């Protein structure tokens, strides 16, 4: 059973047209993350939510925003996608409890194409 779900799996958008990617989880984890992964590169953390607390990485462009309306859902909004934003976007969750048990679990990703 899927525990971290991402929709859609593939998204095509036009240059400059806002797009929203969604992530949901059935693990009841406190922490949700968004990563950007470009071809042949490691995932790059954009931001994460610890419960309702939003934590942005210093080098994440303002063009990327996120919302977490409840424990189960988290959204990634790209306000004005550029060609350079074409990538795989990965959502992950972690329990957010004791450090010694902390592990991130990833969804299948959404591959974004910008035309």
- Cα–Cα distance between 92 and 72 in angstroms, integer? 12
Q: How far is the CB of 16 from other proteins (least distance, A)?
A: 26
Q: How far is the CB of 102 from other proteins (least distance, A)?
A: 5
- Cα–Cα distance between 81 and 20 in angstroms, integer? 10
Cβ pair 23, 104 in contact under 8 A: no
Residue 70 vs 103, nearer CB to other proteins: 103
Residues written for the chain: 115
Binding residues for other proteins, rule: CB under 8 A, are 31, 33, 40-43, 45, 48, 50, 55, 88, 90, 92, 94, 96, 99-100, 102-109, 111
Residue 26 vs 55, nearer CB to other proteins: 55
């Amino acid at each position: 059973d899927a525990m971290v779900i991402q929709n859609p799996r593939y998204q095509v958008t036009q240059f400059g047209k806002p797009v929203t990617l969604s992530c949901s989880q059935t693990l009841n984890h406190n922490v949700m993350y968004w990563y950007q992964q470009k071809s042949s590169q490691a995932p790059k953390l954009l931001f994460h939510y610890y419960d309702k607390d939003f934590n942005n990485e210093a080098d994440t462009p303002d063009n990327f925003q996120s919302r977490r309306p409840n424990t189960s859902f988290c959204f990634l909004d790209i306000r004005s996608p550029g060609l350079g934003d074409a990538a795989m976007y990965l959502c992950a969750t972690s329990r957010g409890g004791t450090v010694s048990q902390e592990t991130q679990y990833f969804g299948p990703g959404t591959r974004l194409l910008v035309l």
